[in-house]
Amino acid sequence: MSRPSCCDNSRGQGAGIAAVVVILAAAFIVAKIGPIVVKIVHIALEVIRVVALTAAVVLIFTVAAWLAVVIVRWWLRHHGARRQAILQPVNATAWRDVPAGDQSACMACGGSGKVLRAISSSRYQPSACPVCEPAEWAG
């Protein structure tokens, strides 16, 4: 008994078997390579996250430093002029230009003729001004 030609399906089975083999090979490749790809993607996303956080922290510190500079400049501009009027610069070597005995222009004693000398860390003793009374120091 032979089959009729309409029932001969042996030609169509080859293509089906090839398709199943290709699908199984793809599934095997995905099963073996998939976890590696997932790890690579996970590491890449972690690196991107760390870089983004670092950039955000740097940006925050930059903005904070800039803001501090702006606030200090503003404060100095508004309050510095008032302080500059109160605190006049003083020449530290002006006492050398004071003639001996001229107590009114003395910067050491302020014209009183007396200065406070430290005896200990908390005690002071009044004595003659070394700028206004140089004769007392010489002898």
Which of the residue ranges 51-60, 103-112, 118-127 has the most confident prediction, judged by mean pLDDT?
A: 51-60
| Beta pairing partners, 18 | none
Asked, for residue 50, whether it belongs to a domain, the answer is yes
Report the number of distinct structural domains present in the chain: 2
Domain boundary among 86, 106, 127: 86
Asked, for residue 4, whether it belongs to a domain, the answer is no
Residue 23 and residue 65 share a domain:
yes
Asked, for residue 82, whether it belongs to a domain, the answer is yes
Range of the domain at 49: 11-86
**Phi-psi domain of 116 (left: phi exceeds 0; alpha: psi -120 through 50; beta: other):** beta
- 3-48 pLDDT, tens per residue? 566 655 555 677 788 889 999 998 888 888 888 989 999 999 999 9
The predicted model gives 50-75 an average pLDDT of 96
Helices (H), 1-139: 10-86, 134-138
Asked, for residue 108, whether it belongs to a domain, the answer is yes
Asked, for residue 39, whether it belongs to a domain, the answer is yes
Pick from 79, 96, 104: which is nearest to 131 by CA? Answer: 96
Residue 116 and residue 71 share a domain:
no
Q: Assign 132 to helix, strand or coil.
A: coil
pLDDT of residue 65: 97
Pick from 127, 129, 139, 125: which is nearest to 103 by CA? Answer: 129
